[in-house]
Amino acid sequence: MKKMIIASTSTVFGSGYLEYLLPILQEHFKDVKTLLFIPYARPGGISYDAYTSIAKKAFTKINIDVKGIHEYEDAKEAILNAEAIFTGGGNTFELVNQIYKNDILTVLKDVLEIGTPYLGTSAGSNICGVNMMNTNDMPIVYPPSFTTLGCIPFNINAHYLDPIDGSKHMGETRETRIKEFHVFNDTAVLGLREGSWLSVEGDKITLQGKFTARLFKQNTQPIELESGEVVNC
């Protein structure tokens, strides 16, 4: 049975890395001693070692050790033997590119489906959906496919932003971009605001956090989901 936390972000304004989620993660990763970290998204282009160190420092606060997947000779074996898994944010194109390059998409999906506890933030949440086509990231590399884990039956738009009243910005809003996506695709998209996350227990997906989320479906007006509400798509 799936046991996942799919968060819009690792860091909310005014707090440290994962700080706002640590009380939740302490329960989510109960009895976990060592966490497997997937640093492939490389935010700001930092190295895998540097990114793993950031995650390690955060999880030390709840007495969990962290080891990067790049530290293992066999990435597939690392996933199969992991007590729990965390995929961090950064660039979704590069994250997906490395997932395919290391041939771990299927094995990662398999272990999550049978209940290995998982945390995704930002790009690490984007890959939980049907595909990565609603990422906000620049296509700095070209992955072999946009198909991702499909652990949830919709896509995530992380860091979702509402239009600002009176703004003179002339570019597209997030809502406009998602509407463009729905001209050609029928996959539902959840706009997940900062500080919000999804709790996945088996097939039950529940919105958590302080804020609502915006659910977009093809040929349908978007709706606001309240925190605590089950997401049905």
Q: Known catalytic residues?
A: 122, 137, 159
Q: What is the SS3 assignment for the chain? A: CCEEEEECCCCCCCCCCCHHHHHHHHHHCCCCCEEEEECCCCHHHCCHHHHHHHHHHHHHCCCCEEEEHHHCCCHHHHHHCCCCEEECCCCHHHHHHHHHHCCCHHHHHHHHHCCCCEEEECHHHHCCCCECCCCCCCCCCCCCCCECCCCCCCEEEECCCCCCCCCCCCCCCHHHHHHHHHHHCCCCEEEECCCEEEEEECCEEEEEECCCEEEECCCCCCEEECCCCECCC
Contacts of 41 (CB under 8 A, 6+ apart): 87, 88, 89, 90, 91, 92, 94, 95, 122, 123, 124
